[in-house]
Amino acid sequence: MPRTPLFLACLSLITFAHAQETTPAATPTTLTAARKPPLPVKQLSAVHVQATSKPGYSADSAQVGSFGGAPLRDTPAAITVITRAQLDDRQPRTLSDLGHMDAAVGDSYAAVGYYQDIAIRGFPLDLATSFRFNGMSMAGEQYVTLEDKQQVEILKGLAGIEAGVVAPGGLVNFVSKRPADVHTATVGTDSHGSRYAALDVGGWLSPGFGVRINAAHEDMHSYVQHADGHRNFLSLDADWKISRNATLQLDSDYQASEQRSVSGYQLLGGTVIPSHASRTHMLGYEPWQQPVGIHAWNSTARLNYRFSDDWQAQLSAGHSRSVINDNVAFAYGCFYSPACASGATPGYFFAPNGDYDVYDYRSPDDMRSNDEAQATLKGRFATGSISHQLTVGVDAFRRTLNQRPYVYDYVGTANISQPDPPYFAPSPNQPGAPARTLSSWQRSVFALDRVQLGAHWQLLAGGRFVRLHERAYDSTGVLQRDTRLTQTLPQAAVLWQPTTALTAYVSYSESLSLGGQAPYWTSNGGTILAPLLARQLETGVKYAWSNALNLTAALYRIHQPYQFAQPDGSAAGFSFVQQGSEVHSGIELDAAGRVTDRLRLTASVNLIQARAQHTGTPAYEGHQIDNVPSLRTALFADYRLPLAADLSLLGGWRYSSPNNATPNGLTRVPAYHVFDAGLRYVTQWNGHALTWRLNVDNVFNHFYWRDTGNSGGDSYLFPGAPRLARLSLTVAF
């Protein structure tokens, strides 16, 4: 530990002083003895003192919601921090797994074998802007990696001042591990035969320079037939203390993954939930179907400089790139099925008898790049008796898409009752040449002033001025859309802190997101609608029950224009419009931390009412919006047994109320309970710490529909995973 020499020196001084106080007054004899030559000094070997603290399920700070590490109690927003201890104990592998840890988070087109998305407070996140790596924008179209993450931060609600043009659901920020003296290896498997190995090695090469390396390999044996895959991961994190006032942090990772993508179910005839859906059969499987390959790179650099105790600056830069080779024998609709020939069933649903069409879809070399640079200045000053904490900055963000004209050809029709569909020959067509299809620049300036009014009140006021210029092209390079806009996004909050343990706040914020693209089957298919301005009012309470247990509650209301395919008299029967408003009102309750010396837990409840209003389509109003359950709960507990201190019981419970699958609310999937269980055993072998973890997800093997989200305007149904046991061993060496 850095403080060990100081501690030993202080201990020596205290011992010497105590000896002086207890020694009798010197006599002539003792004085003579004191003048004797000193005895030879024997040099003892160095003593290394190291202390560790048990990791917890609660966190004190987060990068999101505060422009850099303010205490969560001083942040007027609902933020969930998933700590390293939670990641280790629960062994999540996907973004969907992470979503299970918070009741305000749900799946939103989270297919097996494909990059996934989630929804927060009922709003799907924007894959282009809603995911962050150490605070910098990250391309969301990649397989999530957690081996090198110290924590995952979920900002729930509007993030306009944080990110500018971003979906109203919020942000997910992945925070890298920092260099430390650590040497661990983890191996694991599961009940389907998957194999997993990971390495975490770090240390300080000098007093001012440290590194940390994480690596992982996984052979994934999916519960869905034909959907096995693999991935390789490597990351490097470094800290360089350039001087007393300057520190440079560098983080970079690379991952390559391959796995066949699994198509979702669709409503039969547009109104009926498939009654005997299989969680293990791959719809549309053809032996020529190639895996989806994703290669992803993420890098950030942060230079922190301290001018004085009151003023500091940070220069940040980030690069994220994902290259996707998208391949799937895609199960979609029933345009070519005889069961839909009459036209009574819309072709973009499965047929009433379970027929579906199979398409050969290939879109190789789909490259998405995010580049961002930011400069921030923070300082403290006073105006009379009022103190200020000021944050000002500038930000530039660029996103580009390079794509090839894809193949999307019908090859045959199958039925959901078939374990494997008949063999259909693939399309002879080939993708075209690559071309730039999107170029987007977002430039902004932002400022936030935290004003301390006396001992118990804080006022936050600020905003972000955004200038967006985005151009979209077709596959031949012809300009299809040129979007230019400027917008000021304000944020204000009042905090009341009557005690150090209690904070109450009220906040108002605005954010801007890009309009959606009309589905191809509407009269204006392919059209991009105008940007959307969302507004949020939130009030909350944060209470530190103890040093290790935090309780929070938030009440929120979010308004945004409602985007939907409106039934009309057009030839297509629908037009994609923005009309009326979508209002999400809810309450969230969260607890995280150590309840007793033996019990740790995370618990959350999200009760939400999501309604469409003034849409001109009465059938779409007066009920819950699809894929937004009105009630969700999430609980995970870790209990250390009193008679076996090295053995802990792990357990979890998730609940979701019935979930609408159609915008008119007439079709919905039933509610579900999912229970998880596990064990953690800590021991030693030849002086090496060993940690065994066993997790069993969905203990009772309950069938449930976890996702009724949509993609490209089409609705899909994804069943939850069956029972799965994971076993891992972590060795410190």
Give ∠ CA 610-616-619 in degrees, rounded to 5.
Answer: 60
Q: Which pLDDT score, from 0 to 100, does residue 82 have? A: 97
pLDDT > 90? residue 591: yes
DSSP structure string for 134-186: TTEE--SSS----TTEEEEEEEES--HHHHSB--TTEEEEEEE----SEEEEE
Q: If pLDDT is split at 50, 70 and 90, which confidence band does 18 have?
A: very low
Rg (CA), the chain: 29
pLDDT score, position 34: 37
Element (DSSP H or E) covering residue 504 = strand 502-513
In a domain, 432, yes or no: yes
The DSSP code for 72 is: G
Give the residue ranges of DSSP H helices in 526-671.
none
Query: CB of 553 within 8 A of CB of 588?
Result: yes
Which residues does residue 574 pair with via DSSP β-bridges, in sequence order?
567
Mean pLDDT, rounded, for 600-624: 97
Give residue-wise pLDDT tens across range 400-430.
999 999 999 999 999 999 988 999 999 999 9
User: Which runs of E-coded beta strand occur in 260-354?
Assistant: 292-306, 311-332
Regarding pTM above 0.75, the answer is: yes
- Tokens representing residue 458 in the block: 């804080």
Nearest to 516 by CA among 128, 202, 254: 128
Domain count, the chain: 1
Question: Cβ atoms within 10 A of the Cβ of 379, count?
Answer: 15
Instruction: Let me know if residue 6 belongs to a domain.
Output: no
Residue 205 belongs to domain with CATH number: 2.40.170.20
Work out the average pLDDT over 282-296: 97
Range name among 68-77, 200-209, 306-315 with the lowest pLDDT average: 68-77
**Cα separation, 163 vs 395, whole angstroms:** 9
**pLDDT single digits (tens) 666-714:** 999 999 999 999 999 999 999 999 999 999 999 999 999 999 988 888 9
37: confidence class by pLDDT, cuts 50, 70, 90: very low
Q: How confident is the model at residue 547 (pLDDT cuts 50, 70, 90)?
A: confident
Residue 315, token pair as written in the block: 């220069």
pLDDT exceeds cutoff 90 at 84: yes
What residue numbers bound the domain in which 494 lies? Answer: 72-274+295-475+488-732
CA distance 107 to 724: 19
Q: What's the one-letter identity of residue 4?
A: T
Residue 405 within any structural domain of the chain = yes
Other C-beta atoms within 10 Å of 422: how many?
11
Residues in the chain: 733
Enter the tokens of residue 140. 């969301």
CA–CA separation, 571 vs 140, rounded Å? 36
User: With 50 as the cut, is the pLDDT of residue 524 above it?
Assistant: yes
| Buried/exposed 47-71: b ≥16 CB within 10 Å, e otherwise | eeeeeeeeebbbbebbbbbbbbebe
Contact predicate 362/409, CB 8 Å:
no
Instruction: Give the separation between CA 103 and CA 637, rounded to whole angstroms.
Output: 15
* Confidence bin at 332 (pLDDT 50/70/90): very high
Instruction: Residue 234: name the closest of 296, 313, 322 by CA.
Output: 296
Distance CA 296, CA 256 (A): 7
Integer Cα distance of 75 and 71 in angstroms = 7
Phi first, then psi: give them for residue 136, nearest 5 degrees: -100, 150
If we measure between CA atoms, which residue out of 230, 226, 235 comes closest to residue 195?
A: 230
Domain contains 635: yes
* pLDDT on residue 69: 66
Q: Is residue 36 part of a domain?
A: no
Residue 19 has pLDDT above 50, yes or no: no
pLDDT attached to residue 55 = 53
User: Within its chain, how far is the Cα of 584 from the centroid?
Assistant: 21
Q: What is residue 400's DSSP assignment?
A: E
pLDDT level of residue 16 (50, 70, 90 thresholds):
very low
Q: Is residue 232 part of a domain?
A: yes
Residue 152 lies in a domain: yes
CA distance 583 to 122: 10
What are the tens digits of pLDDT across the range 256-282?
Answer: 999 999 999 999 999 999 998 999 999
Mean per-residue pLDDT for 175-187?
98
Report how far residue 700's alpha carbon sits from residue 222's, in angstroms, rounded to the nearest whole number: 19
Instruction: Give the span between the Cα atoms of 157 and 606, in whole angstroms.
Output: 13
pLDDT digits 0-9 by tens, 112-134? 999 999 999 999 999 999 999 99
C-alpha–C-alpha distance, residues 433 and 211, integer Å? 41
Detail the DSSP E strand segments found in 404-434: 407-415
Banded model confidence at residue 360, pLDDT cuts 50, 70, 90 = very high
Tokens matching residue 159: 């993030």
Place of tokens 């006022």: 459
CA-to-CA distance for 626 and 612, rounded, in angstroms? 10
CA dist 354 and 339 (Å) reads 9
- Which amino acid, residue 681? Y
Give, in order, the Cα–Cα distances in Å from 461 to each of 390, 450, 458, 507: 10, 7, 10, 10
Question: Per residue, what are the HEC states of 22-52?
Answer: HCCCCCHHHHHHHCCCCCCCCCCCCCCCCCC
Answer whether residue 367 is part of any domain. yes
- Across the range 304-331, mean pLDDT stands at 97
Of 456, 554, 543, 559, the closest CA to residue 506 belongs to 554
List, in order, residues 6 or more apart from 444 with CB less than 8 Å away.
164, 394, 395, 396, 397, 464, 465, 466, 467
